[in-house]
Amino acid sequence: MKILLTNDDGIYSEGIQILKKQLDNIAEVTVIAPDRERSTIGHALTLRKPLRVRKVKINGDFWGFSLDGTPADCVIIGLLEIMKGEKPELIVSGINRGPNLGDDIFYSGTVSAAVEGAMRNVPSLAVSIAGFEDFKFESAALFTKKIASNLMKNNLPSNLVLNINFPNIDYEEIKGVEITRHGKRVYQDEVKIIHDPQGTTHYWLGGELPEGNIEPDTDFEAIYNNKVSITPLSLDLTNYQMILKVKDWAKKWNFK
């Protein structure tokens, strides 16, 4: 089995290095990841400058490829060039240093890399730890290996995207797995205004740590209960419940 491994925290992040060690036990793993942290960059693509790929060595041994682009760029270059003629059976993005729960998925470079993979007909996983410090990467990596190994026993649809979040606890403390829907994230954003010595105004986005609504069957509930959350995502963002309503509105519109 061949796996393409990427992330949005950068190729030198601890999460991707620990995850590769586990995935090496079940597959031939090719790494291509951003050359620096690209968190919350979403599904951005680099279209107005050339991209540069570099070989990365760790402890003197070849380890993978870095790219001066985004996570989605990494998937595209990985599939079309680095693994050209050797299409992977699975793409794994992570392990992200922090949660991708609820509305986080719309900002996440980790999730967007997985979505890009599915758009290019490769089943994909986005893997994150729902914590903010002292990350239990070993626990999440071991669990990810087992999930990937079990998944590959099935005939996976090419457009599969699974958003996986792990509680930030030791492996032995995980209470199981829940297949979930993504819940509602509550952001507490603030804008800090800064004036530099030249009198120019700068704006710094920030705020308190986000919260989530713990509702039944959601990713937030699973994490709250110390379970792994696996949320199947769809590439189709159509709000089908609103189609008839919007059609009704449109009948009354006047463009004259």
Residue 162: count of CB within 10 angstroms of its CB = 21
Q: Does 202 map to a domain?
A: no
Q: Does any domain span residue 89?
A: yes
Per the domain annotation, does 197 fall within a domain? no
Please report the pLDDT score of residue 167 as a whole number. Answer: 98
- What does the pLDDT read at residue 255? 83
CA angle centred on 41, ends 45 and 49, rounded to 5°: 35
Q: Is 196 a member of any domain?
A: no
pLDDT in tens, 233-242: 999 999 999 9
Residue at token pair 């920030």: 206
Phi, psi torsion values for 95, nearest 5 degrees: -85, 125
User: Which range, of 22-26, 58-62, 135-139, averages the lowest pLDDT?
Assistant: 58-62
What total of structural domains would you count in the chain?
Answer: 1
Residue 185 has pLDDT above 80, yes or no: yes
> In this structure, is residue 200 part of a structural domain?
no
In terms of residue numbers, what domain contains 217? 2-184+213-251
For residue 107, how far is the Cα from the chain centroid? 9
- End-to-end distance of the chain based on CA atoms, in angstroms? 59
User: Does residue 194 fall inside a structural domain?
Assistant: no
Q: Is the CB of residue 253 less than 8 Å from the CB of residue 202?
A: no
pLDDT of residue 207: 80
CA separation, residue 66 to residues 40, 149, 210, 245 (Å):
18, 26, 31, 47
CA–CA separation, 206 vs 185, rounded Å? 16
CATH of the domain at 85: 3.40.1210.10
pLDDT in tens, 3-27: 999 999 999 999 999 999 999 999 9
